[in-house]
Amino acid sequence: MTTATQHEETLGFQTEVKQLLHLMIHSLYSNREIFLRELISNAADACDKLRYQALDNDALYEGDSELRIEIEHDAEAGTVTVRDSGIGMSRDEVIANLGTIARSGTAEFLKQLSGEQQKDARLIGQFGVGFYSGFIVADEVAVRTRKAGSDKAEGVEWRSRGEGEFTVADIEREAHGTEIVLHLKADAQEFADDFRLQSLVRKYSDHIEVPVRMPRVEKAHDEEGNEIEGSETTTWETVNEATALWVRPKSELTDDEYKAFYKHVAHDFSDPLTWSHNKVEGKLEYVSLLYVPGRAPFDLYERDGARGVKLYVQRVFIMDDAEQFLPLYLRFVKGVLDTRDLSLNVSRELLQQDPQVDKIKSALTKRSLDMLKKLAKDPEAYQTFWNTFGSVLKEGPAEDFANREKIAGLLRFSTTHTDSATQDQSLADVVSRMKEGQEKIYYIVADGFNAAKNSPHLEIFRKKGIEVLLLHDRIDEWLMSHLQEFEGKAFVDVAKGELDLGEIEDEEEKQAKEETAKAKEALVKRVKEALGDAVQEVKVTHRLTDSPACVVLPEHEMGFQMRRIMEAAGQAMPEVKPILELNPEHALVARLEATEDATFSDLAHVLLDQAIIAEGGHLDDPAAYVKRLNALLSA
């Protein structure tokens, strides 16, 4: 038991914790009962960690190797206690773990929350800070803990009313592990009830491998069946299933059990979109249970964000975020991997050198992609996935050459077929709608959807009814540089190089183009002389129907969008001069041809600048453009 406290100090919460506690205490009423699941999950993790550390040093058990979680309540005092025989915490760990949120980006995320979102109980899972959920039902929380293997005098007590500060004091504590006492609010006394607590354990934590026990008080009866006063005996009864869910046969498991386990593993409050449970035997032996979440964690795009699966070796917990078993572009996949083929004392460093890891990684990658392919058969569910994780999956072709074709089949794009900003068209859809004789898949890259949709480069394609991919994500140009073809059809950027429509054009059209080019040779030469070094080349084009001119880049040059991204990141880029293509059928080009005086140069420059603006580019000298345009308008 505890003795008088000493070395007591009062400390302030980190700002983000204050905000989070305020949200929990004042807004999260929709699903109050999840506090118990979160505290049990944390307790189970603490037991797992002790089991793992005790592999090298079983003295940490201190003579009690039975890992367990205990839940007690006192209806009169209005308290619920959750106790574990796990690893416990030192004073410094208590201050670090219970006073701060050790996840980058949290403050930024909290700033963005508003109104309805704040009432959403799913928030807690986004921080991995389930402990704070205790304040949804309690107006005071006390934590007593001692790190396994430390002296009994090194116990710690933490107390807070969730109002901006907490106190930490040294206590003497016999048992290692952690005990959390919730002093329930007046409107949360329903939780100080035996039946209510048992049903919550079965509902949310049945799959926890550590036994969750609750006291059962029994009284002896006399011959007439009456209770004998003072004969109470307390026995501890295991309430949960207490077997690792992933090792049970698939046939025994219900969808609800899978969903509940996902919420435990991912600290998420919403259901997963899909999952895949597999047992592999043979040269490699392992069980994997992988999930695709329904929503993104807030640190999805942070390089140091938590990712990876929970790693177990023969049901012994080893590591929380074992990122070595999935590639970075599948970092949204959550789940469990339990294997026989790694040593129990494996660490992150050893994992990186183990050849078995690469084999398992390859298999889990294939399994994840197959899971997504299966999900794609349900367009609505897959669209939810794509809207959430699509831009992460787009990293795949560059990172995983071997699975490039598989990933390509899972990609979704905006196209001129729907003219919608929603990315919902697959490459297989695009190929199935190809014109007869079309051998290439055409695409355009722009800074935004409207810039892509209204690009002058699409004019000839719209006229001929040829579908073009409208790429407007920041990652798209980089993606296309690694995605050369799909089902034997090469990808072509319509804003680069010569436009070749292949067999879609007939001989008459090709001949007419050549004759026009010949007829406009003099004009092209004059424009090139007027523009000088501003352009690489000038030519007539047949890719335009409504616009007077467009700028094109050489075929293997980096696109304008990628250049701007690189420059914004501080990368010095070599200067690239565009090719100006003129529409010989346009009235402005006809006017240019008929102009003989100094106005010719101004009009040529205006056509070039307008073509750059239409492409979404930036002018080197906007003032000069405005001056020339004003001169032409007032002439």
In tens, the pLDDT along 295-315 reads: 887 767 766 666 888 888 877
What pLDDT is recorded for position 73?
A: 95
Mean pLDDT for the stretch of residues 128-150: 87
Q: With a cut of 60, say whether residue 112 has pLDDT above it.
A: no
Q: With a cut of 60, say whether residue 472 has pLDDT above it.
A: yes
CA distance 543 to 545: 7
360: confidence class by pLDDT, cuts 50, 70, 90: very high
Residue with more model confidence, 452 or 347: 452
Q: With a cut of 60, say whether residue 123 has pLDDT above it.
A: no
What pLDDT is recorded for position 404?
A: 93
The pLDDT > 90 percentage for the chain reads 38
Among the residue ranges 28-42, 167-181, 250-264, the one predicted with the least confidence is: 28-42
What pLDDT is recorded for position 503?
A: 61
What pLDDT is recorded for position 122?
A: 45
pLDDT digits (tens, 9 = 90+) for 202-237: 887 877 889 999 998 887 777 777 777 777 788 899
- Rounded to two decimals, the pTM is 0.74
Other beta carbons less than 10 A from residue 479's beta carbon: 21
Q: Is 177 left (phi over 0), alpha (psi -120 to 50) or beta?
A: left
What pLDDT is recorded for position 499?
A: 76
129: confidence class by pLDDT, cuts 50, 70, 90: low
CA distance 166 to 68: 28
Q: With a cut of 70, say whether residue 128 has pLDDT above it.
A: no
What pLDDT is recorded for position 111?
A: 57
Token code pair at residue 390: 């699509």
Nearest to 477 by CA among 566, 559, 575: 559
118: confidence class by pLDDT, cuts 50, 70, 90: very low
Give φ, ψ of 280 to 5 degrees. Answer: -115, 130
What pLDDT is recorded for position 121?
A: 42
Helix axes 521-531, 507-519, angle to 10 degrees: 60
Mean pLDDT for the stretch of residues 144-156: 95
Residue with more model confidence, 312 or 327: 327
What pLDDT is recorded for position 107?
A: 55
Q: With a cut of 60, say whether residue 105 has pLDDT above it.
A: no
Nearest to 233 by CA among 243, 244, 218, 212: 218
Edge to edge, the sheet with strand 309-313 lists 274-280, 286-292, 334-339, 309-313, 316-322
Q: With a cut of 60, say whether residue 285 has pLDDT above it.
A: yes
Mean pLDDT for the stretch of residues 243-254: 88
DSSP class of residue 615? T
176 contact partners, CB below 8 Å, separation of at least 6:
50, 60, 62, 85, 86, 87, 88, 146, 147, 148, 149, 150
Residue with more model confidence, 434 or 554: 434
